[in-house]
Structure 1
Amino acid sequence: MTERQIPSWSELRPLLRPKPIQLDPTRRRLDDALTIADLRRVARRRTPRSVFDYTDGAAEAEISLRRARSLFRGLELRPSILHDVSRVDTSAAYLGTRSSVPFAFAPTGFTRLMHHEGERAVVRVAARRGIPYALSTMGTTSIEDVAEAGPDARKWFQLYVWKDRAAGEDLMARAKAAGYEALMLTVDVPVAGARLRDTRNGFAIPPALTAKTVLDAATHPAWWMNLLTTEPLRFASLSSWSGTVADLLDQLFDPSMTLADLEWLRASWDGPLIIKGIQTVDDAVRVTDAGADAIVLSNHGGRQLDRAPVPLRLLPDVTEAVGDRTEVWVDTGIMSGADVVAAVALGARATLVGRAYLYGLMAGGERGVDRAAEILTTEVRRTMALLGVSSVDELGPQHVRLP
C-alpha cells in the first residue's frame, strides 16, 4: 500500500508561483507570443480583415507562397555533436558590412496601414538591433522621415522602375542625400499580380468608408481611431493615390524595362546595387554579369506569379553558377530563425523577412516589431548551437538536406 499524507503549507508554498499580472495589454499579448505564428494570430485579431489579408495574402490560389513555406517545413537540419557552442556569434557580413544577424527587414508597401507607427517603428527597431531595413517605393513614410527616425540604422531604398524616369531619378537622389547605403531594384513587377484577397475585400488606398468597413470599424475601433487621428497616409514616392493597389502598380511601373536600363540606373546611383526578384539561374547569371553587387532570389512573397519557382530550391544552383562574383540572398516563406539558418547553410549570404515583422507591427507597433526580431534572433542562435556551429560562417550544405 502507498502511504499518503496531507502536504504541509511549507511544502506547498515553494510550488505556488503565480505568473505576475501584466497590466499593459500590448505587453501581455507580446509576452505570450513565442513564435512568428503566434504574432500572426494576434495580428489577425488586431487589424481589419482587408489589411491583414493584404499582408498575409499572395497571388491567385497562393500556391507559390504555400510551396515556399512547405519546402522550409520539409527540410531536414543535420546537427553535428561535441562542438564548443558556449558562445554563438549570429553576425553576418553582407555588402561589405557586418550586421548582427543574417537577415534584414524587407521592403513592404503601405506599412502605416498595418499600424499607424509604420516605417518609423521598423527603422527604430532596425537601428537598435543592428538589422538593415529597406524602405519601399510604396512606403507610407517619406525617405527623409525614415532617415530621421533611424539615423544610425543601415538603410536601403527599394526602387521600382517608373514610366516617369525623372521621378525615379529624383527618388534615387533623395535616398542618396538622406544617407541610404544601397539601392534595391525590384524587377519582378512588370504588371501587378492578381491578389484575389484584396479584390474580394475591396481593399483600396486609402480605405474607403463603405458599409463593410464601417462594420469592421466596430470590431477594430483602436485601429480605425489611430488611422483617423494620426497624420494622413503619406507615400515615400508619390503625393497621393485613390484606388486599388493593382491599379496603382499598373499606372506607375514600366513594363518595358530591360537589362539595358541598368545603365540608366547606374548613371544615377553609384552605391551598392541589389537586384531583387531573380527566379532562374540564367537570370541570376545575366544580372551578375551586368554588375549587381547582390541578387535576391525572390518570387515577391508569392504575390506576383503563382506557381513561380521556390527561391530556396533555386539557391544551391544559383550559388554554384555565380560563384563569388555577387552575393546571393533569398526571401519568401521565411517564418522562423531556423528558416534563416537553413537558407544561409544552403549558400545565402543573407535573407530578407517581410511578413514576419509586419505581423509583429500589427500585433503591437514598435514593440511588436522588436518582439518579432527577438524571436527570430533567439531562434537563429538556438538553431546554430543545436547544429554545433558557433558562427554563421561555419554553416554549410552539410547542415541541411532538402526534401
Structure 2
Amino acid sequence: MLISSWLRGWSLPTRRVRSLGTHSELLEQRIVPAVNVTDAAAFVVTLTSTDSVTIGVDEDGFVTINGVAKTTLAANVTSLKVNCTGNFINEIDLSGVDGSFSNLSGVSVSAGGGNDSVLGSSLNDTLIGGDGNDSIEGGEGIDVVNGMAGNDALGGGDGADSIYGGNGDDTLDGGTGNDRLRGQNGNDSITGGDGNDTLEGFAGNDKLIGGDGNDSLLAAGGNDFCDGDGGNGDGSDFKDTIYGDSGSDTIRGGDGDDYINGGAGNDIIGGNDGNDALYGLGGKDSITGQAGDDSIYGGNDNDFLLGDEGDDNIHGGSGNDTLVGNAGVDTLDGQSGTNTVVLGDGAGDDDGDSVVGSSSEIEEYFGVDDSWTADIS
C-alpha cells in the first residue's frame, strides 16, 4: 500500500512550492512508500506493492525518501530498515546513505518475494533477497548479502563482505576486500575479485574463480571448475589453496606457489606457474605440474602424472600410474602398483632424472637423453 505525502513538491524548511503541473503529475509526485517512524531515530520503510524507494540526505542534512525531505536529521537516525511484502518487483537504492548518517552503524533490507534490485549504502549493510531472481550490490562497507531462493546476482562491492547464494543458480562477485563467498545449493559462478578471498561452492556444479590475492577455494559437492587466478595471464604471484572434495573437478592453480587437493573423484589438475604441491587423492586423476619445481602426488587409483617444466618430484601412490618427467631434472617414484615411467631431458650439465622403485613395480620406462638410476628396494 502506498500513502500520499502532501510534503512532496515542497522544500524544507521554507515549505515553498517548487513546481506546478497537471493534477496527474502532482498526484504522481506525492506518492511515496509507507514510512513507519517509531521514534525520531528509527526508520522502517515498507513496500507493499511494486514500487521503488531511494533513501538519502538533502543539503540541509534531513533524511529524504524518494526526494521528499522528512523532519528527521540524518545524523539522528540510529536504525534504518527496508521491508518488502508480497511477490512484487521492488527497486531499493541506498547509495545516498553515507557518512551524514553518523550514528547509523548499518542498514538492513528484506527484499521479499519478487525479482528485486537492491543497491547498498556506504555503511555496513545486511541485504536479504528472499524469493525471486534478485540483483543485490553491497556497495562500500562490510556487508552481508544473502540471495536466498532464486537465481540471484550478488556483489559485495568494497569491503570484507560475506555473500551467500542460497538456493538457485547464483552469480557471486566479491569485488575488492577479503571476502567470503558461499554458493550453497545450485550451479553457481563465484568470483573472488581482489583481496584474499575464501570461495566455497558446496552443492551443485560450480565455477570458482579466485582472482587476485591469496585465495582459498573449496569446491565441495558436484563436478566443479576451480581457477586460482582466473586465467588472466597477468603474471600475478599469489598463493592459492584449492580443495576439490567429492566430484570430478577441473582445477587450475594460477601463477603462484599453490596447494591443490583434488579430493575424491576423477580430477584434472594443473599447477600452472609457481612451485606447486598437487594432490590427486581418490579417483583416476590427471595432474600436470606445468612450470615451476612441483611436488605431485597421485594418491589412490590409476593416475596420469606429468611434471612438465621444472625439476619435479612425482609420486604415484597406490594404483597403476603413468609418471612423465618431461623437461628438467625430475625424481619419479611409482610407489605401489605397476607403473609406467617416462623420463624427460635433463637440461645442461645436470645428472638427469632419478627413478625410485623396485623392478617389479616398474612395468615400462622410457628415457630421452637421460642416465637414470633405480633405487632398488
Name the TM-score, length of structure 2 as normaliser.
0.20
Which structure has the greater CA radius of gyration?
A: 2
Higher relative contact order (CA 8 A, sep 6+): 1
Q: Which has the higher helix share?
A: 1
Q: Which has the higher strand share?
A: 2
